[in-house]
Amino acid sequence: TNEEMLEIVAIAKSVDAWVYCDEVYRGAELNGKTIESFVGMYDKVMVNGGLSKAYALPGLRLGWLIGPEKLIADTWAYHDYTSITADIMSHYIGEIDLRPEKRQEILTRNRSMLNEN
């Protein structure tokens, strides 16, 4: 819940710790209500997401990391040496699927399938 997330942030702040949240299933909630994100709750938050889980598009191999600018810049340096880039077609499909109207269509379809199963 949002209250629990705020408690986690308060604890992290009290000891100057980072909060890292894997939000790859955000958008696939069975009750149809998208959970809050930790993004913006605290200056030491890192959140990752991707198209593999909630969007059911694992073959695209696309994801993201949200956090402070310095952290993201440092992460890109590691990414450049440890990852093989996704192809141009994956980027094109991902861009289409993240458009608001298409995003909602995909998430609604996937929630429906999850609820049926």
Query: Can you list the domains of the chain with their CATH numbers?
Result: 2-116 (3.40.640.10)
Start-to-end Cα distance in the chain: 24
- Predicted pLDDT at 77: 85
Sheet with 45-50: strands ordered across: 19-22, 45-50, 63-66
46-101 pLDDT tens trace: 999 999 999 999 999 999 999 999 999 999 888 878 877 788 999 999 999 999 99
Percent with pLDDT over 70 in the chain: 100
Between 6 and 83, whose confidence is greater?
A: 6
Whole-angstrom distance, CA of residue 43 vs CA of residue 46: 9
- Predicted pLDDT at 80: 78
Whole-angstrom distance, CA of residue 84 vs CA of residue 80: 8
> What pTM does this model have?
0.83
Instruction: Kindly state the helix (H) or strand (E) to which residue 51 belongs, with its residue range.
Output: none
Residue in this structure with the two tokens 């030491």, named with its chain if needed: 44
- Predicted pLDDT at 85: 75
Indicate whether 3 pLDDT > 80: yes
Indicate whether 8 pLDDT > 80: yes
